[in-house]
């Protein structure tokens, strides 16, 4: 992959909207303090977009096993039904965006790629679209006729806790540095990080909401040793780890996702923990 395979600029999206057919637009307004962004979507979104609820459509909260983490991946059957509800077909171009540096959009992008589908993230999100002259519309998501698409799950690599424990490569932690170091832990059972992991906060992939260019991302990940050999990514619950996976894809590197992430690892008292830089 390269940048144009992973990201779409606001200017390119506007050209596609003008010339047609318009891509299927997925709006993933989500933050930890406010996981339900439905009212923000209703107040203003890109015309034709549909709202995607990260907690219910991009995660399986029926899985209550603590070691599965706070945002377990949906099953292939669940996600196929979700993709069908978005009226996505084999020929549909999908563009995902949010209003938070693509931290939520990256989770949808990763799942769509995992499902064997083409998808890109709107670089710079809603702010970039508006800055490029794009207008917004208000109201709820449109009613869509479900498709009959069949997904191809496992098109991106996933690893579990045992694979992480035996990982022979670079393991990147997308959380804030203070959580990695174990100075604070507001969400999960224990503070610290997986032994041997390196701190790579997802916020370092962007500047003013847009992704760094390919050269800058390669420089960043090269300094972490992530351009050679296998790379695994995790975070608190498997959401912002997808942001690192996306940034690595821009840099030409395929990463393996540990979906349970720190929330799953730290819930298992048998798993060791490290603290410090």
pLDDT, tens digit, 9 for 90 and up, residues 90-121: 999 999 999 999 999 999 999 999 999 999 99
The residues annotated as belonging to the active site are 235
DSSP 8-state code for residue 143: P
Please say if the pLDDT value at position 61 is more than 90: no
What is the three-state SS of 27-90?
A: ECCCCCCCCCCHHHHHHCECCCCEECCHHHHCCCCCCCCHHHCCCCCCCHHHHHHHHHHCCCCC
Please say if the pLDDT value at position 217 is more than 90: yes
- Confirm if 277 and 181 have CB atoms less than 8 A apart: yes
Stated pTM of the model: 0.96
As beta bridge partners, residue 81 has: none
Structural domains in the chain plus CATH codes: 3-131 (3.40.250.10), 161-265 (3.40.250.10)
pLDDT tens digits for range 8-27: 999 999 999 999 788 999 99
pLDDT tens digits for range 222-239: 999 999 889 999 999 999
């Amino acid at each position: 992959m390269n940048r144009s395979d992973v990201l779409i600029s606001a200017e390119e999206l506007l050209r596609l909207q003008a010339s047609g057919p318009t891509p299927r637009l997925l709006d993933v307004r989500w933050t930890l303090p406010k996981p339900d962004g439905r009212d923000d979507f209703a107040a203003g979104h890109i015309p034709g977009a549909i709202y995607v609820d990260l907690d219910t459509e991009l995660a399986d909260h029926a899985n209550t096993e603590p070691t599965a983490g706070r945002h377990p991946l949906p099953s292939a059957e669940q996600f196929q039904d979700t993709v069908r509800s978005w009226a996505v077909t084999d020929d549909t171009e999908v563009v995902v965006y949010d209003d938070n540096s693509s931290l939520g959009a990256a989770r949808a992008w990763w799942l769509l790629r995992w499902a064997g589908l083409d998808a890109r993230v709107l670089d710079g999100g809603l702010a970039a679209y508006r800055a490029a002259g794009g207008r917004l519309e208000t109201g709820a998501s449109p009613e869509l006729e479900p498709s009959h698409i069949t997904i191809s799950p496992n098109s991106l690599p996933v690893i579990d806790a045992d694979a992480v424990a035996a990982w022979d490569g670079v393991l990147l932690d997308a959380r804030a540095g203070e959580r990695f170091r174990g100075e604070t832990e507001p969400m999960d059972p224990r503070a610290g990080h997986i032994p041997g992991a390196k701190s790579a906060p997802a916020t370092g992939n962007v500047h003013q909401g847009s992704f760094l260019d390919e050269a800058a991302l390669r420089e960043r990940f090269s300094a972490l040793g992530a351009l050679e050999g296998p790379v695994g990514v995790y975070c608190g619950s498997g959401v912002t780890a997808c942001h690192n996976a996306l940034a690595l894809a821009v840099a030409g590197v395929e990463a393996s996702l540990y979906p349970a992430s720190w929330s799953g690892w730290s819930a298992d008292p048998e798993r060791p923990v490290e603290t410090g830089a």
